[in-house]
Amino acid sequence: LYLQENLLTGTIPGDDSLLPMLQLSQFGANGNALTGSLPSSLFSLPSMSLLDAADNMLTGTLPISPASTSLQFVILDGNFINGTIPDDIGRMTNLRQFFVKWNYLSGPILEANSTLFSLKNLTAFTLRDNFFSGTMSDEMGGWDNLGVLDIAMNRFSGTLVSSLGRLTSLRAFGVDGNDLSGTIPSELGLLGELSVLNLRANKLTGTIPDSFSALSRLGK
């Protein structure tokens, strides 16, 4: 179902309308003026693989539940969605790309034992411009397939963890505009695929690691 880039208003039809659509695999409604909250069925239909409702005026929280297992792509940038990301996101083991930048989401999402770290198929994870907080866990180094990690313009604190050096598929990494401190880990120099690295506007100290000389793809 593709409804992108129109002038649609009102709310997305509720669960009574969507639940019978058992074969619905893709829902695209980005670039409209839709309001209200996301129906929970968009996250639980058994065949749903793509949900794109970016650039609307949606509010409410993310209705992720234990039934949210089929989704591979979630794109909700540019709305007014608030609250935290539910722990049940850890059950979305097919999830490959998760984009929620420019919303009002919050919470300590990257700390130790977060269910996010069970998502081993993630290739892109973007939280830019929200209100997420807390510190980074060493478990972030387990996202072996991650190519894009953008957590900029939030309220993350603490240090950059050395385990980030294990993300050898990473092409773009942005943590600008947070409250990070400490030194830059030399392990970031192991990210040979990295073409974009943005660490600006934090409270980092120390020197630029010599290992950065190995980042030959930066700027390409």
The pLDDT, as a whole number, for residue 81 is: 98
The pLDDT, as a whole number, for residue 177 is: 98
For residues 137-144, give the mean pLDDT: 95
How does the average pLDDT of the chain come out, rounded? 95
Q: How far apart are CA 180 and CA 135, in angstroms?
A: 9
Name the DSSP class of 205.
E
37-62 pLDDT per residue, tens: 999 989 999 999 999 999 999 999 99
Q: Considering the entire predicted model, what is its pTM?
A: 0.95
The CB-based long-range contact list for 169-175 (8 Å cut-off, 24+ gap) reads 169/123, 169/144, 169/145, 169/193, 170/146, 170/194, 171/147, 171/195, 171/196, 171/217, 172/147, 172/148, 172/196, 173/149, 173/197, 173/198, 174/128, 174/149, 174/150, 174/198, 175/151, 175/199, 175/202
